[in-house]
Amino acid sequence: MDETDLIRASQEGDLDSFNELVRTYEKMAYNLAYRMLGSQQAAEDATQEAFLSAWKNVRRFRGGSFKAWVMQITANACRDELRRNKRHPVIPLESLPYDPPAMSESPEDYAVRMETGERVQRGLATLSRDQRMAVVLCDIQGLSYEEIARAMGCSLGTVKSRINRGRSQLRDYLVKTEHITGQ
């Protein structure tokens, strides 16, 4: 079945079809939640909450980008979690998921890749929630500006502004930390 058929079947109560949609988007939703919340456990909880909400509300989906709809629900679950904790997320480095080296990757390349990933994650944590979400949805998840606007519930101009400012701040952070660490 294609995505449209899976959505239609899900709207008619077919849990297996909805589970196929979950398999398609669960990594994307988890990655957004992890980047927003900075904790593996919180990201897992928010992702589960998002898909539970999506299942309960799938009959209300009226077309357009299902991916953007799922990302909007995930973003809302993250906002709810952040409001509950009334804190800015802090990324404990020891909680970063282990990403084993590729077979063709040298130990040096693997170490550089992991260090770069940690620096980017720390840099993302310095952005405002809205900027971080816009940058993650665009540059990591690959959503279009229109899909991001829908997922974030704001205008296209606001999305462009948040991405521009977020990228600029992230770039400044990475340049600053590169000089400090000598990388």
Which CATH number does the domain housing residue 88 bear?
A: 1.10.1740.10
pLDDT at 93: 40
For residue 88, give its domain range. 3-181
Give the pLDDT score at 88. Answer: 45
User: To which residue do tokens 């989906």 refer?
Assistant: 61
Task: Report pTM.
Answer: 0.67
Instruction: For residue range 116-129, list pLDDT tens digits in order.
Output: 778 888 888 899 98
Cβ count within 10 A of residue 2: 7
* In 58-155, alpha helices (H): 66-85, 107-125, 129-135, 145-152
Number of domains in the chain: 1
